[in-house]
Structure 1
Amino acid sequence: MKKLVTACVVLGLGTMVTACSPANSSQSNSSPNNTSSSSSSVNGNNALNILWIGSSGAPGGPVGSKFPGLWLNRGGLQNVLMFRSLFLPNAALTKETPDLAKSYSVSSNGLTYKITMKNHLKWQDGKPLTAKDVVWSIKTVLKATLVNPMYTNSFSEIKGAKSWISGTSNSLSGVSANGNVITINLVKPVADFIDVLGQFPIYPEHLLKNVNPLQIGTSSFWKHPIGDGMYKLSKFVPGNYAILVPSNTYNGPKPKIKKIIIRGASNPVLAAQKGNLDLYNTNNPQEVSGLKSVKGFVEHPINILYYRYLIFNIKGDKGNKNDDPMANYKVRQAILYGINRRKLAKSIYPSLARINNTGVPSSNAAYDSSAPTYSYNPTKAKQLLKQAHFNFGQTIKLRYYYSDQNSKNFMTAVAQYLRNLGMKVNLQQFQGNATDDLFKVRNYDIALKGLSAFNFQNWYNEYSPNPNNFFTKIWGKSNLVKFNADIKKLSEIRNPAQRKSTLLALQKLEEKTLYKAPLFMLGNSYFVNNNKVKLAGKLGNPWYNYNMDFQNWTIK
């Protein structure tokens, strides 16, 4: 589920939610309260050394007091190795194979799914993992917080979901389990339903059923989580390190790597130089440059759907104004013409940034080849501002919420480009919660935003007129109605030709409205200690669950 890559929080439809509460401690692993040793004292010579992944979903930083819940950010090696989903996608996230599931079928109208679970599945405490755990997990995530919208958006289309979420019904009528068969009935087709189930981690009902859904993601269960994956938590020293070892309850191929050490580190380059890091992914140009210089480390660039773009607050901070400076389409065009995106991308994010002009990358077959490219043209930008009768006496409030130096440098440069057009600009970093600042306080004209997307649907959902969509607060529900039919089509159809034509229609609409201005897409790079680790399979988007053929990785 990157967003940004500083934080993989996807701001889209729906409310983000999570859960917490004490879990039963029926486990035979080492005590999580042992704090006698530090990370530096743990010998990682015969182990795979990785960095801690916290609640942001990004590797690095100090080891926390708990493992993060997985319903918000699914990716990261520690997460995909400890918890499984019904299906396992390939590295390109284009095809799923059964994982906890054995097989499945879909009705001809796309409304009924029957999923047969594998036999003899177990949690790492030895308790049976059954279809009831799946049903409970789906029901619970709909009432939880800190949840990736891909789950709430898809599962909200299950029959009875609205009354279940609102509390007017004590059951979710569209999901049931009969033995090892799960039946899911939808009220309308969801094109990527199996894809979403390939990301959705199943939780153990017997350990979490008494936890308030609003607290599941932060409950004491995460002090020593019990999963169902290839690896289990063997030792956890909060604030220092954690050790994963192969799980004896895992029913798949046994992995060749016998120990994984998770450490904290604020400087991955230094950690690699010291021999405390063997695998790492990043979109930070300085880290990329530094890791390239570490002997034995090999870069594996990955193209992913991670967007950086500007959003325009056309309704102002009161939410009911249409005289905001950004309400004029020509002003929005002028801003794009007035920023040298290519120069900034090349200078600040060398080898990582790819210019995009719509929500579909230019390398994709569905890309609108006639889309405006907005090549740098300050003369045209000034002409558009003149045609729009832009008031150069007003001050444009330019905002961003990222705290990394690259984002600060980027936005400082954007502010200067706008000043070169004659605009007065006030540049500030948001100081509060990003979601609140963007969609509740709304004290800005232009803001930088990021989106780590699972698919194109995530990008286009931001144009939905659904009142639960945060973006209606800055663009207006009435302005977004024109997108609704094609967003609905995209969510329901699987036919490639129909999806391509629908994506083309959506691109045409966003080109005509320009409520958000695409800047570039940021790639990601894995770095692997090639002197020590031998990979198998393909590497894919680090923010999501996928089959990396990890059981065949080896320590040389």
Structure 2
Amino acid sequence: MLQNRTAQRRRLALVGLAGVVALSLSACAQSQRSADTSNGSGKVGGTLTFGAAGAPKLFDPFYATDGETFRVARQMFQGLVGFKPGTAQAQPDLAEKWDSSPDGKTWTFALKTGVKFHDGTDFNADAVCANFNRWYGQKGAAQSDAVSQYWVDNFGGFSDGAKPSLYKSCTAKDAKTAVIELTAVTSKFPDVLGLPSFVMQSPTAMKKYDADNVTAQGDSFTYPSYALEHPTGTGPFKFGKYDKANNTVELVKNDDYAGDKVKLDKLVFKIIPNETARKQALQAGDIDGYDFPNAADWDQLKKAGFNVAIRPAFNILYLGINQKNVPQLRDLKVRQAIAYGINREQLVKSQLPEGAKVADEFIPDTVTGYTPDVQKYNYDPEKAKSLLKEAGATDLTLNFWWPSEVTRPYMPSPKDIFGALSADLAKIGIKTNAVTKPWNGGYIDGIDQAQADLFLFGWTGDFNTPDNFLAQFFGAPDNRLTTGASPWGQSLADSIKAADAEPNKDKRTQLYQDINKKVMGEYLPAVPVSHSPPALVLKSDIKGLVPSPLTDERFGSVSKG
């Protein structure tokens, strides 16, 4: 994957896309129980209204980076690859199976037959290649990483050859066989094809409504009617309308869906940005569920008879340490002192929701490459003080940034988390100056410009590879966690790229384990704090919705009443 600072920022508006080789069976079972998934039972018909936290940017997911667009897109589209419900384990979707050449560069996908797009166009190998070549063939303003960002981040350049691309070609061997050739080996393929950006869209509709006609207007972009009014996939729901006056997106049942019969007649997303307002709308009966209930409300909602469906945690909160501005922070002993000096166990118990746990490294324990054999930093304030003394850093004052106007799945209450951690640091003699800025009003930019000494940040995974976590954090020597970390910042980035390109799975796993050991023992550019499960809440008569660690909930199997 090509990594850059834009890639680090691209997911800040997202609530979470992720992946694991396999979540533990217990986590999967827990998520299914909490959602009360019924095995196909439930009434047919009716309209389900779900409270969304924001408005979708558009309806062509290839040009999207926001979670609300992806939430709607998941109901209308399918990709070659999907994810097993309740987990982030990749599984076939529009492809029945796939295999690769020994060198890992040629991938053959056997496709499902009898599938049609919403406009009646056949899904086949020609359609697959039309989509890949559309992505690769973007021109002009559409090549901007603000427009085709997931392609740029994961595949790189375009057909004009200005920059190298991971993608080489697509060939329709026959109607049900598509062959994809890559220019290099990567651990991310084919799991990356499970992302909403890489779903299959109707070649007929895209041509009819000029889907690639993106134009720039200053710092903003104008999108074609396809992206705004005519999205056409193969999924269980079809686009109905976007009523901006009433802040609703309406989808209707696809009677020709090739999968299991869709139960709902309509699916409506009601845009309610304020979490308290979403809760009130649920209590008033105006909506049937909503996303991201405040963890402090979980018990109250359960007692009121609502189903709080807890997603398996697939994220990480970390305490970032910027080494650029304060020379003492370039000393490993000082960074280790900070790690020993914060009481993460107490933080998890007091500030985070049920199911949260302390993070010992920068990937969840369900991801290949995780190893328990890393240096641990259990709470030990006396050891922290001793390390500070050894480093000659007993009189440190650091600018500690925390974000306002935001709740993240891994960080439900930034102010409270900041308060707990700053109090811990004070106990070991580190003074902090609190700096707070709105998440999208100076915080993100300030962090990326290395203005903070300490800061709160995190990540929700996209899909199941360690690269999706480690490369985001350490994939470049000048990102927010390695700025000022010369000379090992470049060495770490090179190691991550080498691991991603290793075709042998066992060797690749060992390389990632070695990286995790070095990160925690020799580098420690930040302190991993916790993994925290987000949730959604539903009325008790909503059946069949499986909470996903990727926020990859599908409503095609859901019934109401």
In the other structure, the counterpart of 1:15 is none
1:190 and 1:491 in contact (8 A); partners too: yes
Contact 2:60 2:231 in 1 (8 A): no
Equivalent residues of 1:2, 1:451 under 8 A apart: no
Instruction: Name the structure 2 match of 1:264.
Output: 271
Q: Which residue is equivalent to 2:88?
A: 93
Q: 1:356·1:520 contact (CA, 8 Å) conserved in 2?
A: yes
Q: Is the 8 A contact 1:137 1:202 kept in 2?
A: no
Residue 111 (structure 1) shift:
0.7
Within the candidate set 299, 316, 319, 1:310 is matched to 319
**What corresponds to 1:110 in structure 2?**
104
Q: Is the 1:381–1:421 contact (alpha carbons within 8 Å) kept by the matching residues of 2?
A: yes
* 2:515 paired residue number: 506
Instruction: Give 1:543 shift.
Output: 2.9
Matches of 2:281 and 2:104 in 1, distance apart? 49
Structure 2 CA distance for aligned equivalents of residues 433 and 69 of structure 1: 27
Whether 2:346 is the aligned partner of 1:329: answer: no
CA distance, structure 2, for counterparts of residue 287 and residue 464 of structure 1: 36
SS of 1:430's equivalent in the other structure is: strand
Partner of 1:131: 128
Q: 1:509, CA displacement in angstroms?
A: 0.8
Contact 2:500–2:508 (Cα < 8 Å) also in 1: yes
- The code of the aligned residue for 1:273 comes to Q
Q: Does 1:413 align with 2:390?
A: no
How far apart, in 1, do the equivalents of 2:313 and 2:501 lie? 20
Alignment map for 1:216-255 (pairs within 5 Å): 220-228=225-233, 229-240=235-246, 241-255=248-262
**How far does residue 86 in structure 1 lie from its aligned partner after superposition?**
1.5
- Which residue pairs with 1:442 in the alignment? 450
The answer to whether residue 390 in structure 2 is matched with residue 382 in structure 1 is no
Instruction: Tell whether the 8 Å contact from 1:3 to 1:10 is kept in structure 2 after alignment.
Output: no
Amino acid at match of 2:169: G
Rounded Cα–Cα distance in structure 2 between residues aligned with 1:382 and 1:93: 41
Report SS of the residue matched to 1:330.
helix
Q: Which amino acid aligns with 1:541?
A: P
* CA apart distance, 1:521: 0.8
- Indicate if the aligned counterparts of 1:283 and 1:522 stay in contact, CA closer than 8 A: no
Deviations 1:394-449 (A, max 9, x none): 5311113353471112112222322333233111123545543222x211111111
Aligned partner of 1:93: which letter? A
Q: Which deviates the most, 72-81 or 1-10?
A: 1-10
2:68 aligned with 1:72, yes or no?
Answer: no
Residue in structure 2 matched with residue 31 of structure 1 by the alignment: none
> What letter matches 1:479 in structure 2?
G
Report the Cα distance in structure 2 between the residues aligned to 1:287 and 1:189, rounded to whole angstroms.
46
Does the 8 Å contact 1:282/1:288 carry over to 2?
A: no
How many equivalent residue pairs? 495
Pick closer, same or farther for the CA change 1:243–1:154 going to 2, 3 Å.
closer
Q: 2:558 matched to which residue of 1?
A: 553
Aligned to 1:528: 538
Does residue 285 (structure 1) correspond to residue 281 (structure 2)? The answer is: no
Q: Give the deviation of 1:137 after TM superposition.
A: 4.0
Q: CA deviation at 1:135?
A: 1.9
Q: Contact 1:244/1:259 (CA < 8 Å) preserved in 2?
A: yes
Q: Name whichever of 218-227 and 463-472 sits farther off.
A: 463-472
Please tell me whether the aligned partners of residues 126 and 249 of structure 1 are also in contact (alpha carbons under 8 angstroms): no
Question: 1:344 pairs with 307, 332, 347, which one?
Answer: 347
Deviation at 1:340, TM superposition (A): 1.3
Confirm or deny that 1:479 pairs with 2:501: no
SS in 2 for 1:174: strand
Does the C-alpha gap of structure 1 residues 493 and 379 become closer, same or farther in structure 2, counting only changes over 3 Å? Answer: same
Give the letter for the 2:279 counterpart: V
Q: Give the alignment's TM-score, normalised by structure 1.
A: 0.77
The 3 A distance-change label for structure 1 pair 526 and 373 is same
Give the counterpart letter for 1:227 in structure 2.
Answer: T
Q: Deviations over 1:155-196 (max 9, x none)?
A: 23xxxx477462799x97534556645432222212231111
Percentage of identical aligned residues: 22
C-alpha offsets along residues 292-321 of structure 1, whole Å, 9 cap, x if unaligned? 2332x22332223211101211123xxxxx
Letter in 2 for 1:412: G
- The 2-side partners of 1:274 and 1:387 are apart by 60
1:541 and 1:9 mapped to 2: Cα distance?
Answer: 10
- Contact 1:442–1:474 under 8 Å retained in 2: no
Deviation (angstroms), 1:68: 7.7
Cα offset for 1:372? 3.4
Task: Give CA-to-partner distance per residue, 1:33-86, whole Å, 9 cap, x none.
Answer: xxxxxxxxxxxx93212123xxxxxxx24x568558454246864221112212
Structure 2 residue identity aligned to 1:451: W
Unaligned runs of at least 5 residues, structure 1: 13-44, 53-59, 317-322
Does residue 399 of structure 1 match 2:409?
A: no
CA RMSD, 1 decimal: 3.7
CA–CA distance in structure 2, aligned partners of residues 551 and 11 of structure 1: 19
Moved more, 224-233 or 396-405: 396-405
Per the TM alignment, residue 124 of structure 1 is displaced from its structure 2 partner at its CA by: 2.9
Q: Report 1:15-54 matches (<5 A).
A: 46-52=46-52
- Matching residue of 1:183: 179
The answer on whether the counterparts of 1:269 and 1:287 sit within 8 Å (CA) in structure 2 is no
Query: What is the alpha-carbon distance in structure 2 between the residues aligned to residue 351 and residue 447 of structure 1?
Result: 24
Q: How many Å separate the matches in 2 of 1:324 and 1:288?
A: 44
Cα distance in structure 2, aligned partners of 1:480 and 1:2: 17
2:136, 2:159 within 8 Å by CA — same for their partners in 1? no
Matched residue of 2:378: which SS?
coil
Once the 2 structures are TM-superposed, how far is the Cα of residue 390 of structure 1 from its aligned partner?
Answer: 1.0
Q: 1:346 to 1:3 in 2, by over 3 A?
A: farther
Please tell me whether the aligned partners of residues 104 and 114 of structure 1 are also in contact (alpha carbons under 8 angstroms). Answer: yes
> TM (normalized to structure 2)?
0.77
Q: 1:299 aligns with which of 291, 304, 308?
A: 308
Q: How far has the Cα of 1:342 moved from its partner? A: 1.6
Cα distance in 2 for residues equivalent to 1:395 and 1:11: 36
Counterpart code for 1:115: F
Q: Given the superposition, is the C-alpha separation of residues 468 and 124 from structure 1 closer, same or farther in structure 2, using an over 3 Å criterion?
A: farther
